[in-house]
Amino acid sequence: MSSRRLIVFAVGSPYAWDVVESVRRTGADPVCVDNLGGADPRLPGLTRTAPAGPFVLGLSSAEHRPAAARAAREAGLDEPTVLVDPTSAVASTATLGHGTYVNAGAVVASHAALGCHVNVNRSVSLGHDNEIGFAASFGPGAVTAGGVRVGAAAFVGAGSTVLPDVSVGPGAVVGAGAVVTKDVAAGDVVVGNPARVVRTRAVEEQRCPHC
Ligand SMILES: CC(C)(COP(=O)(O)OP(=O)(O)OC[C@H]1O[C@@H](n2cnc3c(N)ncnc32)[C@H](O)[C@@H]1OP(=O)(O)O)[C@@H](O)C(=O)NCCC(=O)NCCS
């Protein structure tokens, strides 16, 4: 029986199960905190009230991760921790901010610098020297080439590719399967190959509440 406990906070979406499985693969016991109510009752250790201890977020939405991080702080959780699935490969020269989660089969290449509460989904590949902002999130299988920058709370969709040295602005959204060949402005939603802007959203500045 494992003795280490890891709290998974904000478990309102099925993505919480990915996090639970990663926690289990590290040999720890997941405790799921359903801060908003209505979560899957089958989640392990389900509770409405956060116990003390290290935690990660249980949702993938870049739109909602900043608020979830603030809610965790307000619930008294002050130990955001790094969760790296044992089936992923993170370069020894990469840096991961607190609360960052690297899911199964993902690769983080040399000298990549990931901020706090970043979500790296299943089979994502982040290239060398990437700079990834607070609470940014990647859909399954997204690929970034070397030198890519992704701003706070941006979302890079499933199966998309971001070409070398391109910047994706804060709060921007890259649609599933897009090929991003040039910089994406803050709040822009881009789709297709080559990626084109389909709309723009208002963006609020987002900062890690734990820093
Ligand atoms: C890009 C995205 C956010 C747009 O969502 P939306 O704002 O609701 O946009 P809509 O669905 O209204 O689509 C707007 C237009 O873009 C097209 N479009 C939407 N997503 C597209 C995509 N990924 N690739 C190509 N075209 C796309 C739609 O067909 C539509 O075209 P039309 O105006 O000619 O009919 C969404 O489609 C998407 O790709 N999300 C990523 C999902 C994902 O990766 N999830 C990961 C699971 S964790």
pLDDT at 112: 99
Domain residue ranges of the chain, discontinuous segments joined by + = 5-74, 83-194
User: 52: burial class by Cβ within 10 Å (0-12, 13-18, 19+)?
Assistant: exposed
Q: What is the pLDDT of residues 123-147, one digit of tens each?
A: 999 999 999 999 999 999 999 999 9
The confidence score (pLDDT) of residue 67 equals: 97
Rounded to an integer, the average pLDDT of 170-174 is 98
* Ligand 1 atom at minimum distance from 137 CA: 48
Percentage of the chain lying above the pLDDT 90 cut? 99
pLDDT at 25: 98
Q: Taking residues 45-64, report their average pLDDT.
A: 97
Q: How far is the CA of 160 from the centre of ligand 1 (A)?
A: 12
Residues across the chain: 211
b/e map of 2-14 (b: 16 or more CB within 10 Å)? eeebbbbbbbbee
Q: Could you identify the atom of ligand 1 that is nearest to the CA of residue 121?
A: 48
The first and second tokens of residue 35, run together, are 């801060």
Is residue 38 predicted with pLDDT exceeding 60? yes
Confidence band (pLDDT; 50, 70, 90) for 59? very high
Q: Tell which atom from ligand 1 comes closest to the C-alpha of 160.
A: 44
Q: Is the pLDDT of residue 1 over 60?
A: no
How far separated are the first and last CA of the chain, in Å rounded? Answer: 34
Q: Check pocket membership of 176 for ligand 1, CB cut-off 6 A.
A: yes
How far is it, in rounded angstroms, from Cα 67 to Cα 76? 14
- The reply to whether ligand 1 has any atom less than 6 angstroms from the CB of 192 is yes
Q: Tell me, using a 6 A CB cutoff, whether residue 179 lines ligand 1.
A: no
Question: CA-CA distance, 128 to 146, in Å (whole number)?
Answer: 5
Nearest CA to ligand 1 atom 38: 175
CATH code given to domain 83-194: 2.160.10.10
158 touches ligand 1 (CB under 6 Å): yes
Query: What pTM did the predictor assign?
Result: 0.97
Mutation to probe ligand 1, out of 198, 200, 201 (largest number of atoms < 8 A from CB): 198
